Amino acid sequence: MDKQEKRNMIARRVAREFKDGDVVNLGIGMPTLVANFIDGDKKVILQSENGFLGVGPAPEPGQEDPDVVNAGGQIVSILAGGACFDSAVSFGIIRGGHVDATVLGALEVDEEGNLANWMIPGKLVPGMGGAMDLVVGAQKVIIATEHCNKKGEPKILRRCKLPLTATKEVDLIVTELAVIEVTLSGLLLREVAEDSSIEEVKEKTEAELIIPDEVGVLR
Amino acid sequence: MKEIISPGQAAKMVRDGMSVMVGGFMVVGTPTAIVDAVVREGAKDLTLIVNDTGFPEQGVGKMVSADQLKKVIVSHIGTNKITGEKMNNKEIEVELVPQGTLAEQIRAGGSGLGGVLTPTGVGTVVQEGKRVINVDGQDYLLATPLRADVALLKAHKADRAGNLVFRRAARNFNPLMATAADLVIVEVEEVLEIGEIDPDEVVTPGIFVDYLVMGEVQQDG
C-alpha cells in the first residue's frame, strides 16, 4: 500500500465509527479525509470550530466563498440546515459535550489514553489551537494516525514523552495496521489489518497490548 | 449615529504600548484595511490578542513582520513561521492559549466576570502558573478575564447605530472582542441606515461600537 492508500484505509475505518445523527469535528490533515467515507445513509453533522455546523464539500470552481473556510483554512461549503456562531458558542459546543466524536492526528499516544499532538519543544511549536478543547470536550476521541513516525519508531507508547494535549481522553486509535481501544485495563487490540499480523502490530507498538481471543480484521 | 472614519484615522488611535484585540481566524473576519493602516502608521510595542497570527504577508502577520509587537496572546502561530522565528529569537513574547479558553477569557473580560473555570489544559503545560479549582470532584483551571485598550474588528454589515451583522465563518472572535475593549473600531462591507437591520438579526448591539470603517466588499449576501 502506498501512503495515500494507507491514509484512505484509516479514514474509511474511522468513518464507520460514526452513528446516525452524530455531531463530529474532524481535525486538520488525514482526519479531514474521513468526510469522504461517511456512509450516505447516516446523517452526520460536521462542526468546524471556527464557527459553523454543517460543513459541506469544497464548492464548484467559481462558487467559492472566502468567508466559508474550515479550521484548516480550506474553502468548503455550508450545507442547508447549517448554522453559524461565534468562537465562544463554538467551544461551548465542544467542551459542553455536544460533539459526539472528534478525529485527530497524533505525535504520540499512550496506554492511559494520553495524547501528545501539538508541539515538539525546540522544533515545532505551532500552538494548540482548538485541539486541547476538542480532546477534553468531545464524547469520543478517535486518533487517526500512521502506526509509526517518519523514522519508523512507534507512536503508541507506554507513556507519552512530548508535552500532552490532554490526559486520559483518547478512546480509539486507528492506524494502517490496527484498531486499538483504550480501556481502563490498557490497550485492547480490536482489529488487525488483512496484510498484517498480531506479531507485526506488537513489534511496532511500544505499549503493552491486550490480545483478546478474537481479533477482527481491519479492511 | 456612529462616525464613519478612514482606516488611517482608525490606525492613528492605536498608539505605542497599547493592547490590541484583532478579530479573525486565519484572516477570515480580520479587518484587513485597518490592519494595513496600522502597519503604515507604525505603532510599536503592542500587545496583540488574536486567535492566530495569520500569514506572513496577510492580516496581523504584517504586524508581526513589521516588528510592531511586544507580546502576542494567541492560540495558534503555525501558519506564520515568522512569529515562530521571532519567538525563538526572543523578539516577541508568545503566550499560547487554548482557543476555547481564549474565547472565554475575552467573554469574561467583556461581561464583568472574574474568570471562567475550564477543564481544558488540566495536566498539560497550560496548567503551569494557573490556579486549579476543584468543583464536585473535577479539576478546572481558572482562566482570568482579558481586556484590551482597542479592538479592531470586522463585520459584514452595520447600521448607523453601530449594530452589527456578521457573515459565515467571518464571525469567530469579533462579537466577543466587541465587548472587551475600551475603544471598538469595526470595519464593515456595508453601512445601512438606522432601521434597515431588524433588531432580531443584530448579533452585536451598537452600544459596543465606537467607530465604523468602510472596508472592501467580500461577497454579496
CATH class as words, domain A3-218:
alpha beta
In chain A, domain spans: 3-218
A59 lies within 8 A of chain B by CB? no
Handedness of CA A130, A132, A137, A140 (dihedral sign): positive
Per DSSP, the three-state class of B113 is coil
**B3-113+145-214 CATH, one of 3.40.50.20, 3.40.1520.20, 3.40.1080.10, 3.30.365.10:** 3.40.1080.10
Alpha-carbon distances of B131 from A177, A186, B73, rounded to whole Å: 42, 31, 19
pLDDT below 70 — which residues of chain B?
A: 217-221
pLDDT bucket at A218, cuts 50 / 70 / 90: very high
Q: How high is the pLDDT of residue B186?
A: 98
- Assembly ipTM: 0.96
Q: Is the pLDDT of residue A86 over 50?
A: yes
Q: Are A50 and B96 an interchain contact pair (Cβ–Cβ within 8 Å)?
A: no
Q: Is A49 a catalytic residue?
A: yes
C-alpha cell at A158: 507506554
Return the domain boundaries, chain B: 3-113+145-214
Report pLDDT for B217.
65
User: What's the gap in Å between the CA of B206 and the closest CA on chain A?
Assistant: 17
Question: What is the pLDDT averaged over residues A181-193?
Answer: 98
The closest CB to that of B176, out of A88, A125, A137, belongs to A88
Look at residue B220 in the predicted model and tell me its pLDDT: 44
A128 touches chain B (CB under 8 A): yes
Spatial distance between the Cα atoms of A25 and A55, rounded to a whole number of angstroms: 10
- Residue B216 has what pLDDT? 72
**Residue A33, min C-alpha distance to chain B (Å):** 20
Q: How far apart (Å, rounded) are the C-alpha atoms in residues B217 and B188?
A: 8
Looking at the complex, does the CB of residue A196 fall below 8 Å from at least one CB of chain B?
no
Query: What tens digit of pLDDT does each residue of A106-164 get?
Result: 999 999 999 999 999 988 899 999 999 999 999 999 999 999 999 999 999 999 999 99
